[in-house]
Amino acid sequence: MNHVQLSDGKVKPARYLKWFGVFSSIGMFIINFIGFLDTQTNSAEGCGPDWPLCNGQVLPSLDNTHVIIEFMHRFLVGFFAIIAVIFVVWALAKYRHFREVRIFSWLAVGFIVIQSALGALAVVFVNPPEVLALHLGFGLLAMGGVGLLTIFLFQYDRHVCGENAGLFYRNQPLPKTLLHLIRWTWVYMFGAIYLGSDVAFHNAGTACSGWPLCNGEVFPGFSGNVGLVFSHRLVAVGFAFLSLWLLISLRRMKEERRDLYAGSQTLFVMIILQILSGAWVVLSHLNLNADLLHVSLLMILFMVLSYLTLQTFPFHNVSMQSKSVRAKKPVATHR
């Protein structure tokens, strides 16, 4: 059996579906990771200007590191994109009556398509850094759709079992100031991610030598690549202060909203790690391992804050509402 029927009529989410979602989420993480590796190693042209073929072949000669990386990038993107689409279709087929399932499914599929199209265009045409910077952002949104859909299925499973977990907390009161703070922090984060991607695609990482100072200066100005990197550092510091503000604010609600308080703790730790990994990138003169750690931590941070944002939206149990409506519907009598 792939689901369990409970005595009150509720159906637990399919066991295989939830874990297939975990596999799909890991796959989306891998897609973004190898895409960043592909860019940082200058392997994007490893297959030449051909797409979907690689150097005019279905299976190219793998005697060059750049060819291997680009070919693996294309293969893994195709494979895990198919896995993600299967997961989304499966989830929609069983739970499309839930608003979260519909939203996250279309979010995932939509941005998988957009990301794939941008990747193909980047091979055929020369895209400016500003457009390439969107590639990572769209990849994160696709990963977010798959990841949040998976989280929702696990939450619903616990909700069905009567546990006071994720879905229970979503219906607990939350001051509007905190609600807006969490949501606007997510928007701020996405802007910070785009700015960081822009730094990478402009190859501006070495414009500011040293850390935390930039070329030995507290304020190097905002012109050229130096200004781009310096802006990125300022935005990162602002992000850290926002997360600290969020953590302090939610501490007063740690009993009522344990989900948000625990998430804000994780968020603050992840931002500190992200800043430290950024320092390693600079001090190691753009060491590849430092770069890969930096983007890996970024993806985890993105999912943590996306989860926090999800928890600010109340949960509407559509299945229970439909039952109550049917129960209140008057029964026709025959004379």
- Span 19-42, pLDDT tens digits: 999 999 999 999 999 988 988 888
Decide if 245 contacts 251 (C-beta within 8 A).
no
Select, from the ranges 49-63, 69-83, 155-169, the one with the highest average predicted confidence (pLDDT).
Answer: 69-83
- Rounded to whole angstroms, the Cα distance separating 154 from 150 reads 6
pLDDT digits over 284-299, tens only? 988 999 999 999 999 9
Decide if 28 contacts 84 (C-beta within 8 A).
yes
Least confident of 83-92, 213-222, 240-249, 324-333: 324-333
Choose the catalytic residue: 70, 100, 163, 256.
70
What letters, b where the CB count within 10 A reaches 16 and e where it falls short, cover 27-57? Answer: bbbebbbbbbbbbbeebbebbeeeeeebeee
DSSP state of 223: S
Q: Has 70 been annotated as catalytic?
A: yes
* The pLDDT of residue 7: 38
pLDDT digits over 135-184, tens only? 888 999 999 999 999 999 999 888 877 777 778 888 888 999 999 999 99
